[in-house]
Amino acid sequence: MRQFIEGLPKAELHIHIEGTLEPEHCLELANRNGIALQHNTPEAIVRSYDFNDLPSFLSAYYSGMQVLLTEQDFYDLTCRYFQKAASEGVVYAEVFFDPQAHTSRGVDFETVISGIHRAQKDARQELGIESGLIMCFLRDMSAESAMEHLHMSLPYKHWIIGVGLDSDERDNPPSKFAEVFIEARKHGFRLTMHCDVNQQDSLLHIRECLDQIGVDRIDHGVNVLEDEELCLDLVHRGIGLTVCPVSNHYVVQSFTSDEIRSLISKGVKVTVNSDDPAYFRAYINENFQVLAEEGDFSQQEIVQLTKNAFDIAWLSDDVKAVYLKKLENYVASFSSSVVI
Ligand code: ADE
Ligand code: ZN
């Protein structure tokens, strides 16, 4: 199974670029930028990670990204993610970034997006990996700040495929950002929002995503299984879920294999992703692997999850068909190469 997963051509749709900052790179950047850190070795940084819910993770995540200051820093960060992703068989990625987490520290929007965009261009040329960029708003900041950043992004809108919503969900429902997302839609952006696992109002937030925002996708969203009608609605509207097994494990002590299998059986387009791999210590293949082990998943189920990702990616039908064919060819050649 491990070999099968490693070779699968994959799409990753839920990956925060700031969540790919490895401890070694964090130390290198702190050194380059003359920033003092609390911990001085990669091991000490990893030991300091002690997450058991969303706020405890977010505190480490925002603290780590303080070392990102220049265009080159964002370029290097993004290049390293693409190198790792390409080595794991990712052929297409839709990458989140959190501009407010940088502008609030005095780093210009242009610095952030230019570095990320330059890395996307180089990754296409040098690694053959295609990607899209999704700008997330921080839901624990105001709707006014989100709107301001939406306007700030417009000169770069040809570099951005969609907008998302992340950070601390408690008391920050989708409806708080309804106007911002309506405006984003007018500018042609695709829409997604986090509905993290086991939040105070998970079901209400999923309902708002459908009825008030009209999202194209939901990030996480596994709690939808608790409401049959909501689940049917999701299937009916063809809205996919970008699920992150290892990230979920920190909150619910399970890789949510039962939930993922139920979602597949109900026809929900559920996908596997890594979320913040440098913090959760697992990139996409490890997410597939632990899921397959916990749920004793078949190769067919793994292929279904991979197909779903290309299906719900924000790509044209023609491009999707090319990726799906590549996937089909891989599965056929893997099966024929296995000696029974
Ligand atoms: N920011 C980075 N990762 C996140 C997640 N999984 N949920 C909410 N906000 C995030
Ligand atoms: Zn996330």
* pLDDT band for position 338 (cuts 50, 70, 90): low
Distance 338 CA to ligand 2 centre (A): 36
Ligand 1 contact via 250 beta carbon (within 6 Å): no
Closest-CA residue, ligand 1 atom 1, reads 167
Domain that holds residue 281: 2-337
Residue type, 34: G
> How high is the mean pLDDT of the chain?
97
**Helix %, strand %, coil % for the chain, to 5?**
60, 15, 25
Distance 194 CA to ligand 2 centre (A): 7
Distance 334 CA to ligand 2 centre (A): 32
Whether the model clears a pTM of 0.85, i.e. scores above it, the answer is: yes
Closest-CA residue, ligand 1 atom 9, reads 167
Ligand nearest to the CA of 217: 2
CATH number at residue 298: 3.20.20.140
Cα torsion at 179, 181, 186, 189 (round to 10°)?
170
Ligand 1 contact via 221 beta carbon (within 6 Å): no
For the stretch 57-99, pLDDT in tens is 999 999 999 999 999 999 999 999 999 999 999 999 999 999 9
User: Whose structure tokens read 């998970």?
Assistant: 202
For the stretch 15-29, pLDDT in tens is 999 999 999 999 999
What's the total number of domains in the chain? 1
For the stretch 207-263, pLDDT in tens is 999 999 999 999 999 999 999 999 999 999 999 999 999 999 998 999 999 999 999
Distance 37 CA to ligand 2 centre (A): 25
Residue type, 317: D
Residue type, 307: K
Please spell the DSSP secondary structure of 7-46, one letter per residue: HS-EEEEEEEGGGG--HHHHHHHHHHTT---S--SHHHHH
